[in-house]
Amino acid sequence: MSSEIAAKASFEIIRYAQCWEDADILVKGLDVKEGDVCLSIASAGDNSFAMLVNNPKKVICMDLSQAQLYCVELRVACYKHLSHQEFLELLGSYDSNNRLKIYEKIRPYISKEAQEFWDDKKDMIEKFGAAGTGKFEKYFAIFRDFVLPLTQSSSNLKKVAESMTKAEREEFYDNKWNNFMWRSLIKLFFSKTVMGIMGRDPSFFNYVEGSMYDHISGRIKHAFTNLDPSLNPYFYWILTGKHSKNALPMNLRPENFEIIKKNIDRLEWHKMSFEDVVKKCQSENLKINKFNLSDIFEYMSVDNYRTILNQILSVSDKGARLAYWNMLVPRSRPDDMANKIKKLEDLSKDLFYNDKAFFYCNFHIEEVI
């Protein structure tokens, strides 16, 4: 991440105990291949692990937050030493009465510092799972426990988990779900003020313009009607606090578990700014083929965004791809850099339409010329 945000936001807590970006469109857009060297913003690590499914040579996982990297370290130990079922129980994807027992099983395989960090969160692990311990997940838990019951009946909530045709989803959303109370509370709960206090760091909204409600409400409708919410792991967690067996993120699916386990030692993680990672790559004469940049440009000025793009060019192979999301701050390759980086607009548009992490306003795949 840029050092600009490091000067403004606190990174001492877990902000995201799971990745809230769709790994399916990320890996497809980047076209991760055998032999690729990938650079990935860590968050909780899920999308960095998903990149291992395509057998890259290396995934360099970086973050400014040591707390986020403890999430990565915990997952590495899980892939190495747990069964798939145990892993999902510990994370909170599935209900479990054995989370603390499972945690004790993998505890010896994480660093002393990580042990102290996670030991302090045993109560939360037992109640919510490790993937429910972040600030953003707590924000959604408040939404689930206090907002949803005021806006939706239990039958409505059950209906969302059922498979419906597009026409049935549209009828259900328009006539049942999108009621007055829902619209009113969504406008309040997903405002910049409330989200800044309870969800994201307030400094993350420094470059945001426009209405959060207008954006969020439109994207929720898209996720409800054009996509199938019963197959959406992000939607399902927001509503229930867990995953369903029919809706798991890419890195948690059973068909990918053994592949990631086999490739787990190809992943390394570092507490570094983006600038420092670039310097490290330059000193090692290491070229990067694929960049998972999360939504880091959301938090910086246009000038710093351009600086990061130039740093990327300095460590990129020809044909290297960049993937990143916009939530409310529009960022895409500047026109005067068109001779260095090209926008893959059709691909980006197609992937964004199918983005299951529905709160973003855009998704960009760009390629170094």
The Cα–Cα gap between 356 and 200 comes to 20
Has residue 243 got a pLDDT over 60?
A: yes
Q: Does 245 reside within a domain? A: no
CA angle, residues 47, 2, 27, in degrees to nearest 5: 20
* Res. 142: pLDDT tops 60: yes
| pLDDT attached to residue 216 | 85
In terms of domains, do 157 and 129 share one?
A: no
Is the per-residue pLDDT at 282 higher than 80?
A: yes
| Residue 7 and residue 129 in one domain | yes
In this structure, the answer to whether residues 7 and 128 fall within a common structural domain is yes
Residue 145 maps to a domain: yes
Q: Are residues 229 and 223 in contact, defined by beta-carbon separation less than 8 angstroms?
A: yes
Give CB contacts under 8 A, 24+ apart, made by 37-41: 37/286, 37/287, 37/288, 37/289, 37/290, 38/288, 38/289, 38/290, 38/291, 38/292, 39/277, 39/281, 39/288, 39/290, 39/291, 39/292, 40/291, 40/292, 41/1, 41/292, 41/293, 41/294, 41/296
* pLDDT (mean) for 358-368: 95
Q: What is the CATH number of the domain that holds 100?
A: 3.40.50.150
- pLDDT over 70, % of the chain: 92
Residues 143 and 235 in one domain: yes
pLDDT at 336 over 50: yes
41 or 193: whose pLDDT is higher? 41
Decide if 296 is inside a domain: yes
CB atoms within 10 A of CB 318: 9
Which whole number is the average pLDDT over 328-337?
A: 93
Which value, to the nearest 10 degrees, does the dihedral of the CA atoms of residues 106, 255, 253, 69 take? 50
pLDDT in the model for residue 4: 54
Domain-terminating residue out of 180, 214, 240:
240
At 215 the pLDDT is: 80
Same domain, 211 and 292: no
Lowest mean pLDDT, pick from 45-59, 101-115, 167-181, 208-222: 208-222
pLDDT at 187 over 90: no
Tell me 21's DSSP state: S
SS3 324: strand
Task: Give yes or no for residue 164 having a pLDDT over 80.
Answer: yes
Residues 127 and 7 in one domain: yes
Residue 130 has pLDDT above 80, yes or no: yes
Query: pLDDT value at position 327?
Result: 85
Q: Could you tell me if residue 76 is inside a domain?
A: yes
Residue 295 DSSP label: T
Tell me the angle at which helices 66-81 and 84-91 cross, rounded to the nearest 10 degrees. 150
Evaluate if residue 1 carries a pLDDT over 70. Answer: no
Residue where a domain terminates, one of 197, 219, 240: 240
Token pair 């029919």 is found at 246
Coil/strand/helix, residue 323: strand
Q: Rounded mean pLDDT of the chain?
A: 93
Q: Give pLDDT, residue 198.
A: 57
Stated as kind and residue range, the H or E segment containing 290 is: strand 288-292
Q: Are residues 125 and 13 in the same domain?
A: yes
Mean pLDDT of 120-132: 98
Mean local confidence (pLDDT), 334-360:
97
Let me know whether 65 and 144 are in one domain.
Answer: no
Which residue has better confidence, 317 or 175?
175
- pLDDT value of residue 12: 83
Give the range of the structural domain holding residue 227, as residue numbers without chain letter.
Answer: 138-240
Classify burial at 3, counting beta carbons within 10 Å of its beta carbon; exposed 0-12, middle 13-18, buried 19 or more. middle
Residues 6+ apart with CB under 8 A from 266: 52, 56, 57, 58, 59
Residue carrying structure tokens 């990580």: 114
Cα–Cα distance, 171 to 65 (Å, whole number):
43
Cα Rg, the chain, nearest whole Å: 20
Asked whether the predicted pLDDT for residue 199 surpasses 90, the reply is no
Asked if 236 and 299 sit in the same domain, the reply is: no
What pTM does this model have?
Answer: 0.92
Q: What does the pLDDT read at residue 196?
A: 63
Distance from first CA to last CA of the chain, Å, rounded? 23
Q: For the chain, what is the domain count?
A: 2
In this structure, how many other beta carbons lie within 10 angstroms of the beta carbon of residue 255? 10
Residue 122 inside a domain? The answer is: yes
Q: How confident is the model at residue 299 (pLDDT cuts 50, 70, 90)?
A: confident
Token output for 69: 């990297």
Confidence at residue 188, expressed as pLDDT on a 0 to 100 scale: 85
pLDDT at 317: 87
User: Do 127 and 56 share a domain, yes or no?
Assistant: yes
Checking if the pLDDT of 256 tops 70, the result is yes
The domain boundary residue, chosen from 240, 268, 295:
240
Least confident of 143-152, 210-219, 355-364: 210-219
- Model confidence at 204, in pLDDT bands (50, 70, 90)? low
* Same-domain check for residues 233 and 282: no
Residue 262 lies in a domain: yes
Say whether pLDDT at 49 is over 60.
yes
Gap between the Cα atoms of 81 and 109, Å rounded: 8
Q: Mark whether 265 and 323 lie in a shared domain.
A: yes
